[in-house]
C-alpha cells in the first residue's frame, strides 16, 4: 500500500456537505460523480496528496444509506492506493483477511476498488484503490 488515497465520508445531503467542506478546506471540490453500481453520488476535495470523498446515497438500499441509518453521518472508509489491486487482494486473503469483493470493481474517480471486511480491521472499512490505466 502506497498512501492514504482518500477518506470517505457518508453524508445525508451532498450539496450541504460540499458547502461545509469547501468552507473548511478553503477551496472548492474538484468534481462530482455518480457511481450507479454503488447507488451513490460523490464529491472530491484534494488535500495534499490525499483526498476527501463525500458520499451520498441515491437509493434507500445502497450501502451508504444503510450505513447512515445504522451509524449516522461520518467517516465511512479509509482508502489506500495500490499499484496492483489483484495482488493486494490475494496478499490480504493469504494473511487471513476477508474481502467483500473477490474481484476489483469500477469505483469513482477512475479507480478500480475492492473492500476489506471491517470486522477484520477493528471496525474500519478499508478500500483498496488502483488507478485505471
- The answer to whether residue 133 scores a pLDDT higher than 90 is no
- Looking at residue 102, its pLDDT comes to 87
* 10-50 pLDDT per residue, tens: 999 999 999 999 999 999 999 999 999 889 999 999 999 99
Joined grid coordinates for residue 85:
489491486
The model's pTM is 0.92
For 55-101, what is each residue's pLDDT tens digit? 999 999 999 999 999 999 999 999 999 999 999 999 999 999 999 98
SS3 letters for 5-43?
EEEEEEECCHHHHHHHHHHHHCCCCCEEEEEHHHCEEEE
Q: What is the pLDDT of residues 52-67, one digit of tens each?
A: 999 999 999 999 999 9
Start-to-end CA distance of the chain, whole Å, equals 17
Instruction: Domain 3-131: give its CATH code.
Output: 3.10.180.10
Amino acid at each position: 500500500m502506497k498512501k492514504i488515497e482518500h477518506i470517505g465520508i457518508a453524508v445525508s445531503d451532498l450539496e450541504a456537505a460540499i458547502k461545509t467542506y469547501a468552507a473548511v478546506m478553503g477551496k472548492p471540490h474538484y468534481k462530482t460523480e455518480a457511481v450507479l453500481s454503488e447507488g451513490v453520488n460523490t464529491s472530491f476535495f484534494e488535500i495534499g496528496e490525499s483526498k476527501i470523498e463525500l458520499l451520498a446515497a441515491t437509493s434507500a438500499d445502497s450501502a451508504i444509506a444503510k450505513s447512515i441509518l445504522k451509524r449516522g453521518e461520518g467517516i465511512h472508509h479509509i482508502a489506500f492506493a495500490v499499484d496492483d489491486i489483484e495482488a493486494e487482494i490475494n496478499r490480504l486473503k493469504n494473511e487471513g483477511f476477508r474481502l467483500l469483493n473477490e474481484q476489483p470493481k469500477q469505483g469513482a474517480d477512475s479507480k478500480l476498488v475492492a473492500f476489506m471486511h471491517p470486522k477484520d480491521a477493528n471496525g474500519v472499512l478499508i478500500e483498496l484503490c488502483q488507478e485505471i490505466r
